[in-house]
């Protein structure tokens, strides 16, 4: 069975590390991004099962990020 894949987008390295820690414990592959625009490009080119995003980021908010995808 293929592992589940997730993306985490946040401007906080602490939050990214926390989400990454929990998902690794659940045996979920995780790709993390501090830059939401890099995350958008990755998601457009890769299949993911989950997206974790911060709502308030300096470049774009989480809702707009999801709408863009």
For residue range 5-63, list pLDDT tens digits in order: 999 999 999 999 999 999 999 999 999 999 999 999 999 999 999 999 988 778 788 88
Q: Residue 64: is it exposed, middle or buried by C-beta count within 10 angstroms (0-12/13-18/19+)?
A: middle
Report the alpha-carbon distance of residue 25 to residue 47 in Å, rounded. Answer: 21
Report the alpha-carbon distance of residue 43 to residue 35 in Å, rounded. Answer: 13
Q: What is the pLDDT of residue 14?
A: 95
For residue range 25-36, list pLDDT tens digits in order: 999 999 999 999
Report the alpha-carbon distance of residue 66 to residue 69 in Å, rounded. Answer: 5
- Global pTM value: 0.86
């Amino acid at each position: 069975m293929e592992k589940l894949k997730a993306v985490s987008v946040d401007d906080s390295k602490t939050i990214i590390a926390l989400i990454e820690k929990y998902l690794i414990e659940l045996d979920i592959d995780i790709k993390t991004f501090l830059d939401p625009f890099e995350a958008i490009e990755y998601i457009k080119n890769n299949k993911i099962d989950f997206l974790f995003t911060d709502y308030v980021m300096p470049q774009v908010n989480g809702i707009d990020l999801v709408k863009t995808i």
